[in-house]
Every structure is written in structure tokens, then in C-alpha cells.
A and B are shown apart, each in its own frame.
Chain A
Amino acid sequence: MIRFDNLHKRFGDRVVLDGFTLEVPTGGTTVLIGASGAGKSVILKHVVGLIRPDAGHVEVDGQRVDTLERDDLVALRCSIGYVFQFAALFDSLTIAQNIRLGLERQGLDEAVITERLRESLDVVGLSDVDDRFPDELSGGMRKRVGIARAIALRPRYILWDEPTTGLDPVTSATMDDLMRRTTDVFGVTSVVVTHDMRSAFSIGSRIAMLADGRLRAVGTPEEMRNIDDPLVRRFIEGRAE
């Protein structure tokens, strides 16, 4: 379980999170929606300790992230896969090396590493890219490599930051399938940030909306579809003011 407890974060005088509270139950997919710049990526980064909260905290399986000792933080990070919004591939490494790096870090056998590498690239529908460098791939391909890098580690949690943004509709639907499968088959708990409402309602077991640095609403897709809150409705239905 991931628990966000009254999280506050500001950058300079820009308050981004202002008491964000949410529980992400183990199992299933929690989708986080919210306007651009609302702080969704900032929230995900708190989970793995890339950003430290000004006040409040995040707990993963009962452990406070911001006060973890180094070794515990390493263990925590090994159990969480992170799909970056802009892929964040290592541009001096080939695609295969990008994926191998985390696997090697976990001390897996060469045979296992090779197998995971194959499998994860297959799953995202990429082949023959092993020896290419990130800047030789399209944006969408890079994104999928980023996804492969995260799922190859077989983590307990995966944080997906806009996994389908910039993908064509078919690939995007394939990624939805992939997210559903990782959750159902491997028992991964997913937190997905997305602007794609079709995707949100198709993969989410719960949908949470962030506005003004706080949790505005949370519920099952069904509940969210019938919600009264006009701001949430407008966002979900994609209407201008």
C-alpha cells in the first residue's frame, strides 16, 4: 500500500502540493488525473524519494520514504518500477544496456537478464532495437523502452507517468492492455498518471483527481463518471470553461 499523508511541497514560492492525501491499495490500478502542471509527476517522485516533502510524508508498505536509511531506500527502489514521462533513457547506452543496467544492479544471473531483456522488449512490441541508441529511436519508441526498462525488473509497484502520451491509438491501446496484464497477471500495484480519459477509465480500478495541490475526488470509474463535482466532470468530459 502507498499512503500519501498530507503532502506539502513548494518550489520557490510556487506551492505545488498543499496537503495531498491519498491511499493507494495494494493490487489494482489507481489512476491519477489532473491539469497540466498540477503536480502529478511531483507526487510520483515523492514515492521513490527523488523529491523530499516539505511537510507530510509518503509511506510505502508502512515505511516512511523520507526517513529511510540508505540500504532501505535501495531496497524500496528495487521494488518500485518508474516509467518516466519523457522516458529518461541513458543516452550513452544502447537500448539493451539501458534495460540490463537495473537487472545487473539487482545481481541477477546472466541467463535471467537475457531472458528478461527479450521478454520486456517483446511485450512492448519492439524488436531489433537492442544495439541502437536512444536518440536513434522515435519518441514513442523511447517511451516504450522506458516501460520495458521498468517492467523488466518485475517490481511490486509500477509508477507510470503518462505511459500513453505521444503514442499512436493502436500502440496506446496495446499499452493499456500491457498495464492491465502486469496488474492482473504479475500482481503489480500500478499508479498511472494520464491525461487520456479513455485509458483512465479502461485501466483504472480507482481514479483520483488532483487539483490545487490536494485530492479533489477519488472513486471507482463508475463513481467518477457519476460525480457531481462540476470541476471533476468538466475535466473528465474534456470541456472548456
Chain B
Amino acid sequence: MLVPQMLRLGVQSIPIALFIAVFTGIVLALLASYIFTGTVPLYFVGALVGKTIMMELGPVLTGMALAGRVGASIAAELGTMKVTEQVDALETLAFDPASYLVVPRVLAATLMFPVVTAFAIALGVVTGWITAVNLLDLSTVEFVKGLRMFYVPKDLWFGLLKAASFGAAVALAGSLRGLSTAGGARGVGRETTRAVVLGCEAILVLDAFWALVLL
């Protein structure tokens, strides 16, 4: 149950996450150079790109994108199972829908969100670097110097921990909305939308929570 879910929820989400990462990396590098030019040494671009992508934009933007993909897909799938009495059928076969349907999805998302986020972070930093070298007056050495100067391991695990919590929240939101679906196809549509909204809200709240608790 777990592995197929991980593949479906995680691996297939990598392209969208990478797409977001590329553009975030470009924008951040340009933005940093715009802010720093004339005030701060330009190698700070590396620091800003690295820190913001690792700690904030990587996890949050990836999380939001996956809240749409993963949250909606879980809610629609479980919602359809609910309205076609498949959830009832599971119960009559003495399964607990919560553990049989929800746990593998939540686990898969909790494990896979950090993985996808890690790819996004890596690609975001790389695009930031490419942008800095090609479009800005910055050398690879300087970019890497900035990147390393302020880096502490906490930056990375902070980002990945957040991603894991986003994964749990998004999958949980999708599952809860899905399993409380009633009223046919329209109900499935309604709960799917709610799941995505709820997932995004949860991400923002958790984001603030972790900042308060861990920074």
C-alpha cells in the first residue's frame, strides 16, 4: 500500500515542483542583486538565494503545489469511494477505513514531500547560481562563498521538516474531506475543493508555527 502511494503522490509530483523551483531560483537571484547592488557585497546573493529557498520558498511553494495535486487527488479518490459505498464495503469486510485508507496516504505524503522539496531546493539553488553567473556580475566563486558563509545545517533540516509536516497536513486534509463526502459527483467536487483550500491554509499556519517554535 505504501510504496504505490509514495510513487503516485511523490514521484509524479516532481515535475511541477521542479518547474516552480527553476523560476523561483531565477527570480530570487535577480531580486537579491537588485536589493544588494550598491549596499551590500554582491556575494550575499548566494546567501539570500540559499537561505530563502531552503528555509521558506522551497518547502512552501512545493507544498502549495502539492496541496493542489496530492490533496485533490486523495480527496477525489476517497470521496468517490465514499459515495459509491466502497468505504462501507471496506467496513463490512472488517477494515478500518482510517487505518487502511488514510494511514498509508498520510505516511506516503509525509515521507515524499521532503524528498520532492529537496529536489526543488537543489534545483532552485542551481538556477539561482546559473542566473547569478549569467545575468549578474557575479562569479561562481563569489556565489558559492555567499552560499556557504551563512549556511548552517539547520537551514536544510528546518526546510525539510516543514515539508514533512506539510505533507502530513495535506494528506490528512484530503483524507478527512474525502471520507466525509456525501451527495454524489457534486459532493466529490465540493470536498475536493475544500481539501485543497484546507491543505493550503494548514501549510501557512504550520509555516508560521515552525518559525515561531524553531527560529
**Number of residues on chain A facing chain B (CB within 8 A):** 22
Do residues B95 and A105 form an inter-chain contact, with CB atoms below 8 A? Answer: yes
**Which residues of chain B are near A90, meaning CB under 8 Å?**
81, 86, 89-90
* B40 CB-CB contact with A under 8 Å: no
The chain B residue sitting closest to A79, CB to CB, is B94
CB distance from B107 to the nearest CB of A (A): 18
* B201 CB-CB contact with A under 8 Å: no
Do residues A77 and B86 form an inter-chain contact, with CB atoms below 8 A? Answer: no
A91: which of B84, B88, B90, B92 is its contact (CB, 8 Å)?
B84
CB distance from A83 to the nearest CB of B (A): 10
Do residues B85 and A88 form an inter-chain contact, with CB atoms below 8 A? Answer: yes
B93: which of A49, A70, A77 is its contact (CB, 8 Å)?
A77
- The A53-74 residues at the B interface (CB cut-off 8 A) are 70, 74
CB distance from A42 to the nearest CB of B (A): 12
**Which residues of chain B are near A78, meaning CB under 8 Å?**
94
Do residues B94 and A84 form an inter-chain contact, with CB atoms below 8 A? Answer: no
Do residues B95 and A82 form an inter-chain contact, with CB atoms below 8 A? Answer: no
**Which residues of chain A are near B89, meaning CB under 8 Å?**
82, 84, 88-90
Do residues B88 and A101 form an inter-chain contact, with CB atoms below 8 A? Answer: no
The chain A residue sitting closest to B80, CB to CB, is A91
CB distance from B2 to the nearest CB of A (A): 15
* A50 CB-CB contact with B under 8 Å: yes
* B91 CB-CB contact with A under 8 Å: yes
CB distance from A230 to the nearest CB of B (A): 35
CB distance from A173 to the nearest CB of B (A): 26
Do residues A48 and B93 form an inter-chain contact, with CB atoms below 8 A? Answer: no
- The A159-201 residues at the B interface (CB cut-off 8 A) are none
**C-alpha gap A78/B86 in the complex (Å):** 17
CB distance from A44 to the nearest CB of B (A): 10
Do residues A77 and B84 form an inter-chain contact, with CB atoms below 8 A? Answer: no
The chain B residue sitting closest to A84, CB to CB, is B85
**Which residues of chain B are near A74, meaning CB under 8 Å?**
94
Do residues A86 and B85 form an inter-chain contact, with CB atoms below 8 A? Answer: yes
**C-alpha gap A74/B93 in the complex (Å):** 8
* A45 CB-CB contact with B under 8 Å: yes
* A121 CB-CB contact with B under 8 Å: no
* A95 CB-CB contact with B under 8 Å: no
- The A89-138 residues at the B interface (CB cut-off 8 A) are 89-91, 101-102, 105-106
**Which residues of chain A are near B86, meaning CB under 8 Å?**
88-91
Chain A residues proximal to chain B, CB less than 8 Å: 45, 48-50, 70, 74, 77-78, 80-82, 84, 86, 88-91, 101-102, 105-106, 153
Q: Which A-B residue pairs are the 8 nearest by beta carbons?
A: A102-B93, A88-B85, A88-B89, A82-B92, A77-B94, A74-B94, A78-B94, A50-B88
Could you list 10 A-B pairs, sorted by A, with CB under 8 Å?
A48-B92, A50-B92, A77-B94, A84-B85, A84-B88, A84-B89, A89-B86, A89-B89, A90-B81, A102-B93
**Apart from A88-B88, A101-B95, what are 16 other A-B pairs with CB-CB below 8 Å?**
A45-B88, A49-B91, A70-B96, A77-B91, A77-B92, A81-B92, A82-B89, A82-B92, A86-B84, A88-B85, A89-B86, A89-B89, A90-B90, A91-B84, A91-B86, A105-B95
